[in-house]
Structure 1
Amino acid sequence: MLNSENKTFVLDTNVVLYDYRCIYSFEEHNVVIPITLLEEIDKFKRGNEIINFNAREFSRELDALIGDKFLHEGVKLESGGVIIVKTNIKKDDYLREIFWEDKPDHRILTVAYNLSKEYGTDKVCLVSKDINLRMKSKSIGVFAEDYETGKIKNIDELYSGKNMIEGIHHDVIDRIYKETHVPLEETGIGITPVPNENFILRNTSQSILATYIKEENALRIVEKRRAYGITPRNAEQIFALNACMDPRISLVTLSGKAGTGKTLMALAASLEKRKEYKQIFLARPIIPLSNRDIGYLPGDVHDKLDPYMQPLFDNLSVIQNQFAEDSPDYSRINDMISNKKLLITALAYIRGRSLPRVFFIVDEAQNLTPHEVKTIITRAGEGTKIVFTGDPYQIDTPYLDSRSNGLTCLIDKMKGQEIYAHITMEKGERSLLAEIASNLL
């Protein structure tokens, strides 16, 4: 039975599909699983996507938890709360008039409504990642909230990886130019950086780019350099290229709006450093349009994937077109693709593989869940470098947002690690028109 002294949280199916361990996130409070939720996740058990994995794992987790007990009677959790399955989906006259259509969302909402009538509206809350269902719930007097576990508190305060310091003495800037490394305490920047944090140090007449090296407790100059024909156009791109080419750093995240050069910098760095890796992987998640699987598209697997992979080929063409068609650098890219030294593919075709000595670029990482990002990183073998790129504000996946997507969570969690670097890229370099449109429209 439910503990009437504590709050009762009613779970929507999408919460389980987002985090199969969600039942442990409510401390001493009651967790209610509507019978409809169990019916719905049964439809998601087959498949290789993260929601299919979560559906299977939730069923196993629940089965191991209850043992030989009955779920409709309630099972005590170690946190002190109770987990219970509720089957009361009977609507009263009020609900029948409003939600006459019989569908899973309405059945789950009915469970929450009936519990709020029994225990009080201040004791019951529907937890859903579906905004519309939360609005429906609040329309009938039932509290509702998003599933917040794993979300960062404020994306506006997310680590940017770069800092501008004004008023640096010209002797310090001259010394960094001359010696390339200067101990932190002798720079006078006045803050304690995190490992691999980048700085624009300025005074009225000079400026210099530098990065913090923790093992030396020093600022090191970051010089502008070309990578496979690509020259960075601003400080952010210089920082990004430097991080992608730094052998000390195994994990890089580059975030920013379209046109800032995230993928281009990562790809240029991978080609410049190609001799240090067995392969270069460039991948992105497939987000089908209108929620239709790519199997509906005509042609073989390559024909189906081409429209989704085209932006990656476009970046490769930008690099290739820096050279004459008869030059070795131009033909080398074609040779690498033919020999599968450079592989451009959907992320689903790489998931599950072990990746030793690979330069792995994951594009559109904001459309991954935190669990998917973790799965990718844990596949990294010795000598592998992984670069995640994406725009946290451009989410194409249902139930993810700017605060809960895998890229944002990765930036928040990895900040401070010595093998990790991040740059938020803000200045668009695609064209003046693209930059104006991005800022104004």
Structure 2
Amino acid sequence: MTETTPKYYLLDTNILLHEPLAFLNFEEHNVVIPMVVLEELDNIKDRHKDVSREARLAIRSLEDALKDATPDEILAGVPLANMHGAHHAQGTLAIYPDYQLKQQDAVLNLSENDHRIIQSALEIQKKYSDTKVVLVTKDINMRLKAKGAGVKHVEDYRTDQLIDDIKYLSKGFVEIEGDFWTNVGDVTSAQEGRETFHEIAREILPTVFRNQYIIDDSEHFAAKVVGYDQHHVRLHDIGFERMMSYRAWGIQPKNIYQAMAMNALLDPAIDLVILTGPAGSGKTLLALAAALELVIEQGIYEKIIVTRNTPEIAESIGYLPGTEEEKMAPWLAAITDSLEVLHKHDESMESSLNYIMNKANIQFKSLNFMRGRSIQNAIVILDESQNLTASQLKTIITRCGTGTKIICSGNLAQIDSYYLTAVTSGLTYIVERFKDYPGSATVNLNGVVRSSLAQYAEENL
């Protein structure tokens, strides 16, 4: 068996919920879907959960691939090359009749769906002993059980994983050791109005992206990449002191990382700002302060829409009292906490908050109700986005119409989803996908500024 020999990939239900067209992403290899997976999709498709849409889409896609095949062909495998659409699948798609499995020695209780899938993998592994058979699931516990039961190859779904280790994730800035100018040889500078631009050799910054920030240890130099080619990099020289003097709704940056974030947040030319970093680094506070500044003081946008991932939201939100905004309040306490911080010195904080909520037209929206909308002239703050998949984030970003800015913030060390890790999170995915897009900027907020207690906990717990 060689690496080019077509393999058999058996998919768990959560793979098709994660990406309904996942069966088209295995190139020349063969895909097998156990019957129990179809049963689980059928049970999920009518539930009032945000994954029901993915279940319905997966079922329709499978039907498109198999609609013209006979029962015998479906069992043997239907060529995926015949399916219309933009894909490169050259293998086959088969449905495995796991209902025919017989209970064996009570090792796996076949009344449990996970065990039926694992037993299917074992049977296919036995049938194609000279071929690599891989069980693909996002369930970590199921991967452990499958290996314990004798499945030789068990993997996570990695097609939408762009990096192998979170340490390789783009931070959105480059820190130069020592003084920046001591590392620079020839430089061409130009003055355009009040702004200064430099062109330096590409060798100094071999890995460079648009809107990437450049800082050094001297605490004098701070710049942003505005363009590059094979030989040169064009920098906008902002200056360390100027960047640290930014102010938005009474808030000033406490470190250079917050200053870079504020520069991106206050720039109307940047439509997507991604803020990553530990708890207490100021992601939500900076996003809200910049949004209020741009909506109320500068009048660039008309409203602020705040949303976030809420586990089991579709099942539980209906039982909470009040309007949609009031139902969402328990999950968006971080936003209201930040509003209180911004106005804690006001004579009447409650009156100030009510005034700001109306003046800035701040709306709390459920993630589920964002589909189908077209959001115009607004700032969208997507908090806790580390718990979203790539397809969920795509749904939100594609809602943004003319004159809309979206701010995605999240801490990759605080993922609550059972099936996501730091490298498979949708937040990681969009950081890598958008890192060279001219209308986006990413900033990793190093350092905890909430309190010395929070900083110690982040570093030592």
Q: Which residue of structure 2 aligns with residue 271 of structure 1?
A: 292
**Structure 2 residue 83 is the aligned partner of structure 1 residue 83:** no
Following superposition of structure 1 onto structure 2, how do residues 63-82 of structure 1 map, counting pairs within 5 Å?
A: 63-70=63-70, 71-78=74-81, 79-82=89-92
Q: Which residue of structure 1 aligns with residue 179 of structure 2?
A: 167
**Structure 2 residue 251 is the aligned partner of structure 1 residue 236:** no
**Structure 2 residue 210 is the aligned partner of structure 1 residue 195:** yes
Deviation at 1:53, TM superposition (A): 1.6
**Structure 2 residue 350 is the aligned partner of structure 1 residue 350:** no
Say which is worse superposed, 76-85 or 10-19, in terms of deviation.
76-85
Deviation at 1:219, TM superposition (A): 2.4
Instruction: Kindly indicate whether the alpha-carbon contact (under 8 Å) linking 2:78 and 2:92 is maintained by their aligned counterparts in 1.
Output: yes
Instruction: Kindly indicate whether the alpha-carbon contact (under 8 Å) linking 1:255 and 1:391 is maintained by their aligned counterparts in 2.
Output: yes
Q: Which residue of structure 1 aligns with residue 447 of structure 2?
A: 427
Q: Which residue of structure 1 aligns with residue 235 of structure 2?
A: 218
Q: Which residue of structure 2 aligns with residue 416 of structure 1?
A: 436
Q: Which of 125, 135, 148 pairs up with 1:126? A: 135
Say which is worse superposed, 153-162 or 220-229, in terms of deviation.
220-229
Q: Which residue of structure 1 aligns with residue 315 of structure 2?
A: 293
Q: Which runs of 5 or more residues in structure 1 are unaligned?
A: none
Cα distance in 1, alignment partners of residues 65 and 101 from structure 2: 30
Query: Structure 1: which amino acid aligns with 2:321?
Result: G
Secondary structure at the aligned position of 2:62 is classed as helix
The number of residues matched between the two structures is: 428
Superimposed CA distance per residue, residues 350-406 of structure 1 (whole angstroms, 9 cap, x where no aligned partner): 333211110111000111111111111111111110010001221112211111111
Say which is worse superposed, 278-287 or 296-305, in terms of deviation.
296-305
Q: When the two structures are superposed, what TM-score results if normalisation uses the length of structure 1?
A: 0.89
Residues 364, 164 of structure 1: alpha-carbon distance in 2 compared, 3 angstrom cutoff: same
Query: Structure 2: which amino acid aligns with 1:305?
Result: M
Secondary structure at the aligned position of 2:60 is classed as helix
**Structure 2 residue 221 is the aligned partner of structure 1 residue 208:** yes
Query: Structure 2: which amino acid aligns with 1:390?
Result: G
Q: Which residue of structure 2 aligns with residue 35 of structure 1?
A: 35
Q: Which runs of 5 or more residues in structure 2 are unaligned?
A: 82-88
Instruction: Kindly indicate whether the alpha-carbon contact (under 8 Å) linking 1:227 and 1:268 is maintained by their aligned counterparts in 2.
Output: yes
Secondary structure at the aligned position of 2:119 is classed as helix
Q: Which of 136, 140, 150 pairs up with 1:141? A: 150
Residues 112, 413 of structure 1: alpha-carbon distance in 2 compared, 3 angstrom cutoff: same
Secondary structure at the aligned position of 1:280 is classed as strand
Q: Which residue of structure 1 aligns with residue 8 of structure 2?
A: 8
Residues 363, 58 of structure 1: alpha-carbon distance in 2 compared, 3 angstrom cutoff: same
Deviation at 1:115, TM superposition (A): 1.1
Say which is worse superposed, 384-393 or 184-193, in terms of deviation.
184-193
Query: Structure 1: which amino acid aligns with 2:315?
Result: D
Following superposition of structure 1 onto structure 2, how do residues 394-405 of structure 1 map, counting pairs within 5 Å?
A: 394-405=414-425
Supply the RMSD in Å over aligned alpha carbons: 2.8
Say which is worse superposed, 208-217 or 268-277, in terms of deviation.
208-217
Instruction: Kindly indicate whether the alpha-carbon contact (under 8 Å) linking 2:370 and 2:399 is maintained by their aligned counterparts in 1.
Output: no
Residues 168, 379 of structure 1: alpha-carbon distance in 2 compared, 3 angstrom cutoff: same
Instruction: Kindly indicate whether the alpha-carbon contact (under 8 Å) linking 1:176 and 1:221 is maintained by their aligned counterparts in 2.
Output: no
Secondary structure at the aligned position of 2:437 is classed as coil
Instruction: Kindly indicate whether the alpha-carbon contact (under 8 Å) linking 1:362 and 1:386 is maintained by their aligned counterparts in 2.
Output: yes
Q: Percent identity?
A: 33
Superimposed CA distance per residue, residues 35-72 of structure 1 (whole angstroms, 9 cap, x where no aligned partner): 00000001111356542121111111111112221323
Instruction: Kindly indicate whether the alpha-carbon contact (under 8 Å) linking 2:343 and 2:352 is maintained by their aligned counterparts in 1.
Output: no
Following superposition of structure 1 onto structure 2, how do residues 44-63 of structure 1 map, counting pairs within 5 Å?
A: 44-47=44-47, 49-63=49-63
Cα distance in 2, alignment partners of residues 423 and 269 from structure 1: 15
Runs of 4+ in structure 1 displaced over 6 angstroms?
170-173, 175-179
Secondary structure at the aligned position of 1:276 is classed as coil
Instruction: Kindly indicate whether the alpha-carbon contact (under 8 Å) linking 1:256 and 1:262 is maintained by their aligned counterparts in 2.
Output: yes
Q: When the two structures are superposed, what TM-score results if normalisation uses the length of structure 2?
A: 0.85
Instruction: Kindly indicate whether the alpha-carbon contact (under 8 Å) linking 2:110 and 2:116 is maintained by their aligned counterparts in 1.
Output: no
Secondary structure at the aligned position of 1:268 is classed as helix
**Structure 2 residue 250 is the aligned partner of structure 1 residue 247:** no
Cα distance in 2, alignment partners of residues 188 and 139 from structure 1: 50
Deviation at 1:192, TM superposition (A): 5.7
Instruction: Kindly indicate whether the alpha-carbon contact (under 8 Å) linking 2:314 and 2:368 is maintained by their aligned counterparts in 1.
Output: no
Superimposed CA distance per residue, residues 396-425 of structure 1 (whole angstroms, 9 cap, x where no aligned partner): 122111111111100000111111100011
**Structure 2 residue 449 is the aligned partner of structure 1 residue 436:** no
Instruction: Kindly indicate whether the alpha-carbon contact (under 8 Å) linking 2:284 and 2:334 is maintained by their aligned counterparts in 1.
Output: no
